[in-house]
């Protein structure tokens, strides 16, 4: 038995196939192309690239599974599990997945991109918590959520950013440093070359709310004044990690201590993972590095969950 997941996020086209035991059989992803020096894509450009990418990724899967006959199909249809949550890029994957389900005569399930991250995070971290916090850090999301795993996922927002997302902070500094967008992996490699005294970047945290706008402006000014790129990169990483740690402490004071799952593309960063792991200890779990960023595994797991 096979279950197919589809995800068309702002910057990655993804397909994934799992079996009835929740084992990953195959996946295929392709990053959307962003011109050098740009800090993102218009939604219309993202939609166009997803439409071009999906047939190519299907051909990758059908080379391994011919014919590809899933028992159910699921797709991320919106960014968050909220009624007013919408981005055009997700309509591409949703329409594609619905069409496949109709052709195969199998059920179609929809979930949010955020729920996909959460499920892929639990699966790749190898934990089966029922009540926990999740920290979702990416270019489009910076939130701390309380999660209850029941018949359905119950999520409630406890904190997050009031301006820039963590991934936006990283990408804006990365582009200023001449790095390709998205800048996370290259900024991490640059930061690894930093000496013992990285750039000091201010942290702006109040209760469960953090801000990256002020820290980003600080880093941009420092670069204009001659700050070393590698020290600025490590300073950005430290600012993100420390900001998350501080809002988690504040949230735990108000809502109690629970295990914490970290998901989203920013959480592939080794420095940030190490910092938070040291602070939180055994109460922390991290999405596998290969599954922290955008992927369709969570969607495939969702299809399996509601079919079996």
> Do 302 and 270 fall into the same domain?
no
The per-residue pLDDT string of the chain (308 residues; one tens digit each, 9 = 90 and over) reads: 999 999 999 999 999 999 999 999 999 999 999 999 899 999 999 999 999 999 999 999 999 887 789 999 999 999 999 999 999 999 999 999 999 999 999 999 999 999 999 999 999 999 999 999 999 999 999 999 999 998 888 999 999 999 999 999 999 999 999 999 999 999 999 999 999 999 999 999 999 999 999 999 999 999 999 999 999 999 999 999 999 999 999 999 999 999 999 999 999 999 999 999 999 999 999 999 999 999 999 999 999 998 87
> Do 198 and 253 fall into the same domain?
yes
Non-local (6+) Cβ contacts of 297 within 8 A are: 5, 16, 18, 24, 27, 116, 119, 120, 123, 124, 291
> Do 147 and 25 fall into the same domain?
no
> Do 134 and 117 fall into the same domain?
no
> Do 99 and 114 fall into the same domain?
yes
Domain encompassing residue 252: 129-289
> Do 33 and 165 fall into the same domain?
no
> Do 207 and 248 fall into the same domain?
yes
Burial 24-55 (b: 16+ CB within 10 A, else e): bebbbbbebebeeeeebbeeebbbebbeebbe
pLDDT at 67 (0 to 100): 79
Give residue 49's Cα distance to chain centre: 19
Give the count of domains, the chain: 2
C-alpha pair distances (Å), 255 with each of 132, 158, 241, 248, 258: 11, 9, 21, 10, 9
C-alpha pair distances (Å), 4 with each of 18, 75, 77, 114, 273: 7, 9, 15, 18, 30
pLDDT at 66 (0 to 100): 79
> Do 145 and 276 fall into the same domain?
yes
């Amino acid at each position: 038995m096979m279950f197919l997941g589809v995800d068309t996020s702002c910057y990655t086209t993804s397909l994934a196939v799992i079996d009835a035991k929740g084992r990953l059989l195959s996946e295929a992803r392709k990053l959307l192309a962003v011109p050098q020096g740009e800090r993102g894509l218009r939604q219309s450009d993202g939609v166009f690239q997803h439409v071009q990418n999906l047939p190519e990724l299907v051909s990758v899967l059908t080379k391994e599974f011919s014919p590809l006959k899933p028992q159910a199909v699921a797709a991320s249809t919106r960014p968050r599990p909220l009624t007013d949550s919408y981005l055009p890029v997700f309509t591409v994957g949703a329409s594609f997945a619905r069409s496949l389900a109709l052709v195969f005569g199998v059920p179609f399930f929809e979930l949010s991109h955020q729920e996909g991250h959460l499920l892929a995070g639990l699966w790749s971290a190898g934990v089966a918590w029922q009540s926990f916090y999740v920290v979702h850090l990416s270019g489009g999301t910076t939130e701390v959520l309380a999660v209850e795993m029941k018949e359905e996922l119950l999520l409630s927002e406890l904190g997050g950013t009031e301006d820039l997302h963590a991934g936006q902070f990283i990408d804006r500094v990365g582009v200023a440093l001449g790095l390709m967008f998205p800048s996370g992996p290259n900024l991490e490699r640059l930061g690894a070359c930093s000496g013992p005294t990285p750039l000091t970047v201010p942290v702006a945290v109040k209760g469960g709310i953090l801000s990256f706008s002020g820290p980003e402006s600080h880093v941009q000014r420092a670069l204009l004044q001659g700050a070393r790129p590698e020290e600025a990169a490590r300073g950005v990483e430290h600012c993100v990690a420390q900001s998350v740690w501080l809002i988690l402490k504040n949230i735990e004071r108000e809502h109690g201590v629970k295990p914490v799952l970290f998901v989203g593309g920013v959480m592939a960063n080794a420095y940030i993972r190490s910092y938070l792991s040291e602070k939180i200890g055994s109460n922390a779990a991290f999405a596998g590095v290969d599954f922290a960023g955008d992927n369709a595994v969570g969607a495939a797991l969702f299809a399996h969950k509601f079919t079996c």
